[in-house]
């Protein structure tokens, strides 16, 4: 156990890096390392990293409009992050948030067009409910395949992402749901994408000169609800037990299969809601060319957020600001894909956090990560099937 070296100098450092005691340390380090790497990436292209980061901060937080953009992106990111998080806590790796997001988005576009003429108080809840149902169905498919047919959810959700993408973008958006010009010959497509969402189904905006809408508040409220569900209810305990050790959970009488269904249904509903936020808040239709990736971003939000709803909210606001701010980076000739690099690097550091611990603890002797350091205080669903 604790040898002299540990007691003398390494104790506090090791404790600080123990995700169970200080879950915030690894994610913060991941972001700092990503920012540092980004600094050198900008330097390597011959630009000025200091004014780069200044522009990034201005574009994320510098004005009312900037804050609005940050909030819009953060809301969308937070919900897909929560989707991945809920599934992860139940021991399932939801790579399918992307597909559930797309299914939610197309449902929002179709239902928003169909019911958009109704008063907002009726239309908005109705559309959001339909969206969550559709997302949940797309999330339940991999759960069913896992529990009943033994298909690993990582593979099935990847496949379902592409099935959703192709069926929506190469069929629904260009076919049955495509917008048609009023009074024109049937079949003539006037605008790429689906018909416009009616005003009743649009998210209300609050601040002049800003696109800030209800989305971020919905997302933050949902995060609080998810935290309460996971941390304060018996159901949440059973979900976490299912994720931590399915065998032990089954032995304790927890219906693990059923909990897996419920977690994936909730995950799908959350990712679907995220898609709805984008359609009902800013796009107002499912566009003809819709490069999302928000579902994959959700994986980053959940992991960099330490798999805690509050952490996910912080990560979503940070990366939302980076995304909004990266538009201003373009002024310096730095492409906005810089935001993606930061995000990918941060996830890479979280994935390799054992290496980080070893580096910071300057482990000598046997080259092994500390035995008590468990990955990010959570189950390991990508591992043993």
Among 82, 90, 95, 269, binds another protein (CB under 8 A): 95
Whole-number Cα distances in Å, 357 to 4, 345, 353? 19, 16, 6
Which parts of the chain are beta strand (E)?
178-180, 189-194
Residue number, 98 or 213, with CB nearest to another protein: 98
Round to whole Å and give the CA distance between 94 and 143.
10
Q: How far apart are CA 52 and CA 35, in angstroms?
A: 11
By CB under 8 A, is residue 262 in contact with another protein?
A: no
- Shortest distance, position 270 Cβ to another protein, whole Å: 18
Binding of another protein by 166 (CB under 8 A): yes
Per-residue interface string for the shown chain with another protein, residues 65-94, x marking contact by CB under 8 A: ----------------------------x-
Burial class (CB in 10 A: 0-12, 13-18, 19+), 78: buried
When asked if residue 331 is in the footprint of another protein (CB under 8 A), the reply is no
357 neighbors 288 (Cβ within 8 angstroms): no
* Interaction of residue 370 with another protein, rule CB under 8 A: no
HSE-CB at 268 with a 13 A cutoff on CA atoms is 31
From candidates 168, 179, 212, 315, binder to another protein by CB under 8 A:
168
Residue owning tokens 């508040």: 217
Residue from 23, 62, 257, 375 touching another protein (CB under 8 A): that is 375
Could you say which of 133, 358, 363, 377 contacts another protein (CB under 8 A)? 358
- Among positions 293-312, residues that touch another protein (CB under 8 A) are 293, 296-297, 299-300, 303
Inter-CA distances, 211 with 67, 68, 163, 226, 278, Å = 9, 5, 32, 26, 12
What is the closest distance, in whole angstroms, from the C-beta atom of residue 276 to another protein in the complex?
Answer: 21
Tell how far CA 180 is from the center of its chain. Answer: 33
Could you tell me how many residues of this chain bind another protein (CB under 8 A)? Answer: 62
Sequence-ordered strand ranges (E) for 195-247: none
Span interacting with another protein, options 5-13, 189-197, 256-264, 349-357, rule CB under 8 A: 349-357
**Chain contacts with another protein (rule: CB under 8 A):** 41, 45, 93, 95, 145, 149-152, 154-156, 158-163, 165-172, 174-175, 293, 296-297, 299-300, 303, 335, 337-345, 347-348, 350-355, 358, 368-369, 375, 380-385
């Amino acid at each position: 156990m604790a040898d002299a070296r540990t007691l003398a100098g390494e104790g506090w450092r090791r404790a600080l890096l123990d995700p169970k005691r200080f879950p915030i340390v690894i994610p913060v380090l991941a972001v700092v390392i990503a920012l540092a790497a980004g600094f050198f990436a900008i330097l390597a292209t011959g630009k000025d990293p200091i004014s780069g980061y200044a522009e990034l901060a201005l574009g994320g937080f510098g004005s009312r409009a900037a804050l609005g953009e940050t909030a819009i992106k953060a809301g969308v990111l937070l919900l897909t992050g929560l989707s991945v998080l809920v599934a992860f806590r139940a021991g399932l790796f939801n790579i399918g948030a992307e597909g559930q997001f797309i299914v939610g988005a197309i449902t929002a576009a179709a239902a928003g067009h169909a019911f958009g003429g109704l008063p907002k108080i009726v239309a908005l809840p109705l559309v959001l409910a339909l969206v969550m149902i559709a997302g949940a169905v797309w999330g339940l498919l991999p759960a069913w395949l896992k529990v009943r047919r033994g298909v690993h959810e990582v593979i099935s959700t990847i496949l379902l992402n592409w099935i959703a993408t192709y069926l929506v973008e190469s069929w629904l958006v260009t076919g049955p749901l495509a917008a048609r010009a009023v009074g024109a010959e049937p079949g003539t497509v006037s605008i790429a994408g689906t018909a416009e969402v009616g005003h009743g189904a649009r998210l209300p905006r609050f601040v002049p000169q800003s696109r800030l809408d209800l989305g971020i508040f919905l997302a933050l409220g949902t995060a609080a609800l998810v935290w309460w569900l996971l941390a304060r209810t018996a159901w949440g305990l059973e979900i976490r037990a299912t994720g931590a050790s399915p065998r032990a959970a089954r032995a304790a009488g927890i219906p693990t299969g059923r909990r897996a269904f419920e977690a994936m249904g909730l995950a799908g509903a959350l990712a679907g809601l995220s898609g709805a936020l984008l359609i009902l808040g800013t796009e107002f239709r499912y566009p003809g060319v819709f490069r999302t990736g928000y579902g994959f971003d959700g994986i980053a939000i959940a992991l960099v957020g330490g798999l805690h709803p509050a952490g996910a909210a912080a990560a979503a606001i940070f990366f939302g600001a980076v995304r909004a701010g990266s538009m201003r980076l373009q002024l310096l000739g730095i492409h906005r894909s810089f935001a993606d690099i930061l995000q990918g690097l941060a996830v890479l550091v979280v994935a390799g956090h054992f290496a980080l611990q070893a580096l910071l603890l300057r482990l000598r002797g046997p080259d092994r990560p500390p035995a008590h350091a468990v990955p990010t205080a959570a189950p390991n669903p990508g591992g043993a099937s």
